[in-house]
Amino acid sequence: MTTDFGIDLGTQRTVICAGKSVVLDEYTAISYETHTGELIAAGTDAYNMLGRTPRSITAVCPLKNGIIAEYDLAESMLCAFLKSVANNKMFKARVMVAVPSDITEMPRRSIYNACYAAGARDVCLIETPVAAAIGLGIDFTTPRGVVIVDIGAGTTDIATLSMGGLVQCESIPTAGNAFSAAIERYIKREYNVLIGPHTAERIKKQIGCVIPRPLELTVTSKGRNQFSGMPQTFEINTNEMITALYDTAMTICKAISGVLEKTPPDIVGDIASDGVLLTGGGSALFGMASFIENYTGLKVRVADNPKLCVAKGTATAIKNFDLLKNGDYRFKSLDEIIMN
């Protein structure tokens, strides 16, 4: 079986596209038997085990801040995912993987090696903002500047694009997971209650916001009292969410401002007219576009279906490689990686 796959290998979710179809959308997680290393589950099933396993089972997310933190586990997870999309048949596919815009050489090599070990024939890496722009159908091959801000789970990628390439970019380890961690810290500080990542994520999705909502919402949740160790129920509202998430949202805004400050003035002039495009799951946080708009003074809009822009962009680029003619993009074989 020979198929080209575009992969958005995210810190929290991995999305694989073949052509225009999403063939896999799973959590970036794996679980295995602690003593033998035998694979138990990969994807959503493994994610649901996080923080809930006995000693005989280990469940982890093998990526951190957009790069591979545990190579062997990432390789096993990718193998499971690619076998799944190929219906467990042997194949040698070409794959294109989206990576943070300022990723260094060692993490790049880890992703190459993991893809080859998982069965890929040739591998090409593409920066996340470039893939997002292609997925949105934006023509950035002209001498007109475009700004993409991709707020994922582990990283926020900010880039100005023009003439088919990156003009200025930055990747920061502040994104969706940082918002969830901020909720955990706030509840610990204000309620003396400890909650886990699953609970924080659920609260964020239900009532998370960085500007006031038209109607104040409240959610009831449970955790463990940090002093007594006993279960405790608490209520938290949307106004508290604004307080809890403010610093994290400001970190992203300051990073956007920093990229714009380094961007050539003529391109900034284009951006002032066209505004900023938000992609990634973190952009769906209520009020995020307005928050950035208020800080930067630029028009900001959230892309349609922001979670899938990057994966669809990689799948489009792999079929239409001319879109990347002005950048240093090419497929590398395993032999090339070994020789280098």
- Specify the pLDDT at position 77: 93
Both 209 and 254 in one domain: the answer is no
What is the per-residue pLDDT for 257? Answer: 96
**Same domain? 35 vs 51:** yes
What residues make up the domain containing 44? Answer: 4-131+310-339
> Do 122 and 74 reside in the same domain of the chain?
yes
Q: Average the pLDDT over 240-247 and give the result.
A: 98
Give the three-state DSSP class for 42.
Answer: strand
Separation between Cα atoms, residue 101 and residue 172, nearest integer Å? 10
Q: How confident is the model at residue 273 (pLDDT cuts 50, 70, 90)?
A: confident
Same domain, 213 and 164: no
- Give yes or no: residues 205 and 289 share one domain: no
pLDDT at position 338 = 65
DSSP code of residue 209 = B
Q: Could you read off the pLDDT of 135-188 as tens digits, one per residue? A: 998 887 778 888 999 999 999 999 999 887 889 999 999 999 999 999 999 999
Indicate whether 98 and 214 sit together in one domain: no
* Tally of structural domains, the chain: 3
- Which of 23-27, 42-46, 140-144 shows the lowest mean pLDDT across its residues? 140-144
Q: What is the mean pLDDT of the chain?
A: 91
Structure confidence by residue, pLDDT tens digits, 60-105: 999 998 888 998 999 899 889 988 887 755 557 889 999 998 888 8
Residue 321 CB: number of other CB atoms within 10 A? 13
pTM here?
0.92
pLDDT of residue 1: 47
The Cα 49–Cα 99 span in angstroms is: 26
On whether both 59 and 41 belong to a single domain, the answer is yes
Residue 110 binned pLDDT confidence (cut-offs 50, 70, 90): confident
pLDDT of residue 59: 95
Report, as an integer, the average pLDDT of 109-123. Answer: 86
Q: How is residue 331 annotated by DSSP?
A: -
Q: Mind listing the pLDDT tens digit for each residue in 319-335?
A: 888 888 767 788 877 66
Q: Looking at the structure, tell me whether residues 119 and 198 fall in a common domain.
A: no
Q: Which two tokens stand for residue 82?
A: 């690619």
Q: By the 8 A CB rule, do 61 and 43 touch?
A: no
Same domain for 76 and 37? Answer: yes
